[in-house]
Structure 1
Amino acid sequence: MVLNKAKHYLNSYSVTIYWVIVIFLLINAGHNFLYNLGTSQIVDWDEARHGVSAYEMIKNNNYFVNTYSYQPDFWNLKPPLSFWSIVLGYKIAGFNPLGLRLFSAIFALLTLLIIILFVQFKHGNLASILSGVVFTTSTQYLFYHGARTADADSLFVLLFTSAIVSVLLVEQNTKWLYLAGVMFSLAFLTKSWHAISIMGVIFCYLLISFKKLNLSIKNYLFFLLSVVVPIFLWLACRYPYDGLSFLKEMINYDLLARTSRPLEGHTGGKDYYFGVLKQHYVYWLLVLIAVLSAYLSRVTLISQRTYHYLIGIFLWIGIPFILFSIAKTKIPWYILPIYPPLAIVIGVLSAKILSLPKKIEVKILLSLFLLFSIYQYEKFIIETLHSTSQNSEQSMQMLLQDFQESKSYNGKKLIYYNPSNKDELSQSLLLAGELYGDFKMFKGTPQDLEKDPSALLMFAKAPETERLITDYNLVVINNNEWGYVTSKNSLDQHLLNSQNHDKKISILEENTRLTDNITIQEIFIYPQLASKEYKVVVKFSPGTKPDELANFKLKFHLRERANDIEFKNLDFFGDSAISIEGQLYLINDVKSEWSSFEQLDIGLYQTKETREGVFDFINHGEQITINRIINLTK
Structure 2
Amino acid sequence: MNPGFGHFQPQGKLYRWLVLLLAIVVGIPLFACLDAVTIRKWDEGRLVANALEMYANRNFWVTYCFGVPDMWNTKPPLLIWIQVLSLQTFGLTEWALRLPSAVASMLTCILIFRFVERQGKSFLWAALTVLILVTTRGYAGMHVARTADYDALLVLWTTIAGISLWKYCEHNSARNLYITFISMGLAVLTKSAAGLMFGPCMLLYIVFRKQLPALLKSKHFYIGIILFLLIAVPFYLIREHYNPGYIKAVNENEWGGRYLVANEDNGQPWYYYLKHVVERMFVPWFVFVPIGLWFTRKMPATAESRVLQYSALMGLGFFIVASVAKTKLFWYIAPAYPFLAVLCAYGILKLIQALYHPVIKPVFRKAGFVLVALLFLITYVTILVDNGWRKEDATFLNIYNTSNYVRDRFLQQDTLKQIVLHDEKCYPQMILYMRMAERKGYKVWDSRDKKIAPGDYVLTEDPEMEKELHQQYALQKIKEELGARVWLCTAVLKPAE
TM-score (norm 2): 0.81
Coordinate RMSD, CA, aligned: 3.8
Q: CA deviation at 1:157?
A: 0.7
Match of 1:163 in 2: 161
- Within the candidate set 359, 376, 379, 1:377 is matched to 379
Indicate conservation of the 8 Å contact 2:33/2:387, yes or no. yes
Partner AA of 2:61 in structure 1: F
State the match for 2:243 in structure 1: 242
- Contact 1:89–1:101, Cα closer than 8 Å, also in 2: no
CA shift for structure 1 position 91 = 1.9
C-alpha distance in structure 2 between counterparts of 1:19 and 1:213, whole Å: 43
2:144 is paired with a residue of what secondary structure? coil
Match of 1:74, SS state, is coil
8 Å Cα contact 2:400/2:426 also seen in 1: no
- Structure 2 equivalent of residue 416 of structure 1: 421
The 8 Å contact of residues 51 and 84 in structure 2, kept in 1 or not, is answered as yes
Q: Which amino acid aligns with 2:312?
A: F
The one-letter amino acid of 2:433's match is A
Higher relative contact order structure (alpha carbons within 8 Å, sequence separation ≥ 6): 2
Gaps of 5+ in 1: 1-10, 489-634
The 3 A distance-change label for structure 1 pair 191 and 445 is closer
Preserved contact between residue 96 and residue 436 of structure 1 (Cα < 8 Å): no
| Aligned-partner SS, 2:282 | helix
Q: Which amino acid aligns with 2:161?
A: A
Counterpart residue number, 1:90 = 87
**Residues 381/13 of structure 1: CA separation in 2 closer, same or farther (3 Å cut):** closer
1:281 aligned onto 2:282:
yes
CA contact (8 A) 2:402 2:459 kept: no
- The alpha-carbon deviation at position 227 of structure 1 amounts to 1.1
Residue number among 320, 325, 328 corresponding to 1:327 in the alignment: 325
Structure 1 residue 214 displacement after superposition:
4.3
AA of the residue aligned to 2:278: K
AA at the equivalent of 2:301: S
SS of residue matched to 1:428: coil
Q: Deviations over 1:547-600 (max 9, x none)?
A: xxxxxxxxxxxxxxxxxxxxxxxxxxxxxxxxxxxxxxxxxxxxxxxxxxxxxx
Does the Cα contact within 8 Å between 1:321 and 1:338 map onto a contact in 2? yes
Counterpart for residue 234 of structure 2: 233
Q: What is the CA–CA distance in structure 2 between the aligned matches of 1:220 and 1:50, rounded to whole Å?
A: 35
Match of 1:269, SS? coil
CA distance in 1, matches of 2:88, 2:94: 12
In the alignment, is residue 57 of structure 1 matched against residue 63 of structure 2?
no
Shift of 1:310: 4.3
Task: Give the structure 2 partner of residue 343 of structure 1.
Answer: 341
Matched letter for residue 421 of structure 2: Y
2:119/2:307 contact within 8 Å kept = no
Corresponding residue for residue 30 of structure 1: 27
Instruction: Quickly say closer, same or farther: Cα 1:237–1:351, change in 2 above 3 A.
Output: same
Structure 1 residue 353, shift from structure 2 partner: 5.1
Greater share of helix: 2
Distance 2:188 2:444 in 1: 32
- 2: distance between equivalents of 1:287 and 1:369? 14
- Aligned mates of 2:355, 2:371 — CA distance in 1: 19
The one-letter amino acid paired with 1:204 is L
1:15 to 1:350, Cα distance in 2 relative to 1, 3 A: farther
Deviation at 1:376, TM superposition (A): 2.4
CA contact (8 A) 1:417 1:459 kept: yes
Relative to 1, partners in 2 of residues 1:190 and 1:409: Cα closer, same or farther, differing over 3 Å?
farther
Give SS of 2:377's match.
helix
The structure-2 alpha-carbon separation of the partners of 1:398 and 1:310, relative to structure 1 and needing over 3 Å to count, comes to closer
Mapping of residues 183-582 of structure 1, within 5 Å: 183-211=183-211, 214-215=214-215, 216-243=217-244, 245-279=245-279, 280-293=281-294, 295-296=295-296, 299=298, 302-303=300-301, 309-352=307-350, 354-355=352-353, 359=357, 361=360, 367-389=369-391, 390-391=394-395, 393-401=399-407, 415-418=420-423, 424-437=425-438, 442-444=446-448, 447=451, 458-460=458-460, 482-484=484-486
Following superposition, the deviation at residue 282 of structure 1 comes to: 3.2
SS in 2 for 1:458: strand
**Matched residue, 2:101:** 104
- Identity score, percent: 22
Residue type of the alignment partner of 2:422:
Y
Instruction: For 1:199 and 1:40, locate their aligned partners in 2 and report how far apart those are by CA, in whole Å.
Output: 35
User: Is contact 1:404-1:437 (8 Å) kept?
Assistant: no
1:412-451 alpha-carbon deviations (Å, 9 max, x no partner):
9x75325xxxx5543222342234437685443974659x
The verdict on how the C-alpha distance between 1:119 and 1:258 changes in structure 2, with shifts beyond 3 A counting, is same
Q: Could you say if the C-alpha distance between residues 408 and 372 of structure 1 is closer, same or farther in structure 2, counting changes exceeding 3 Å?
A: closer
8 Å contact 1:67–1:73 — kept in the other structure?
Answer: yes
Tell me the CA shift for residue 117 of structure 1.
0.9
Kept after mapping to 2: 8 A contact 1:50/1:151: yes
Structure number with bigger Rg: 1
